[in-house]
Amino acid sequence: MRYEQPLKWLMSGLFLASALLLSSNTHFSKYGYLFFAVAHTLGITIFYKYRDHAMLWNNIIFLTIDLWGIYRWFL
């Protein structure tokens, strides 16, 4: 089994968990940004290998937004 497939499933699960955390509007919501950052980092790794430039840049831009959220919530 190729390693990309489990990473894609992990990325999808992290996106789902992130969205649920952020939309719950609780004390734990801020951790959604951390989950999003990990998922987008996985996306960058996967899409860089396949030279899928649109998805690569999409994940880079969203990772930047995630880092802004982490900065605002944690620092």
pLDDT band at 3 (very low <50, low <70, confident <90, very high): confident
Q: At a CB cut-off of 8 Å and minimum separation 6, what does 6 contact?
A: none
- Cα angle, residue 57 at apex, residues 8 and 18 outer, rounded to 5°: 50
- pLDDT value, residue 4: 81
- pLDDT value, residue 19: 96
Query: What's the predicted TM-score (pTM) here?
Result: 0.90
